[in-house]
Amino acid sequence: MSDCLFCKIIAGDIPSNKVYEDDLCYAFNDIAPQAPVHFLVIPKAHIASVAGVNEENSAVVAHIFEVIAKLTKEKGIESYRVVSNIGEQAGQSVPHLHFHVLAGRDMTWPPG
């Protein structure tokens, strides 16, 4: 989508600190980290949020979780949180599906 911030990051039109990339997804460090490790993993195909996942596009979600497992293992991270906000009330600020990966501090839930 031409006016989507994360589509522009994937296209290289907006700079990002890349963590990983393959044909289906892109991972990059969050610009405003909420934990010592905080990166985002997004599908290259535009999906607005988890609410836009369906039979036709859901394979990329499984792929993204494989990538998250691989990246965290490579980084030696054993305990972490994966978050996806859906809708403005839940704090979604960018309408392109993204999974936050957070680690490096107390990750118990709910936050104290």
CB of 12 to ligand AMP, least distance (A): 12
Q: Is the CB of 3 or the CB of 56 nearer to ligand AMP?
A: 3
Distance, in Å, from the CA atom of 37 to the CA atom of 16, rounded to the nearest integer, reads: 15
Residues designated as active site: 98
Instruction: Give the one residue of 92, 97, 102, 103 binding ligand AMP; rule: CB under 6 A.
Output: 92
46 near 4, Cβ under 8 Å?
yes
**103 has which bridge partners?**
37
Q: What is the nearest approach in angstroms of ligand AMP to the Cβ of residue 62?
A: 21
Structure tokens at 29: 């460090």
Residue 35 in the binding site for ligand AMP (CB under 6 A): no
Best CA proximity match to 64, nearest among 50, 78, 79: 50
Residues in the chain: 112
- For the CB of residue 16, give the shortest distance to ligand AMP in the complex, in Å: 5
Residues that bind ligand AMP (CB under 6 A): 5, 14, 16, 28, 30-32, 85, 91-94, 98
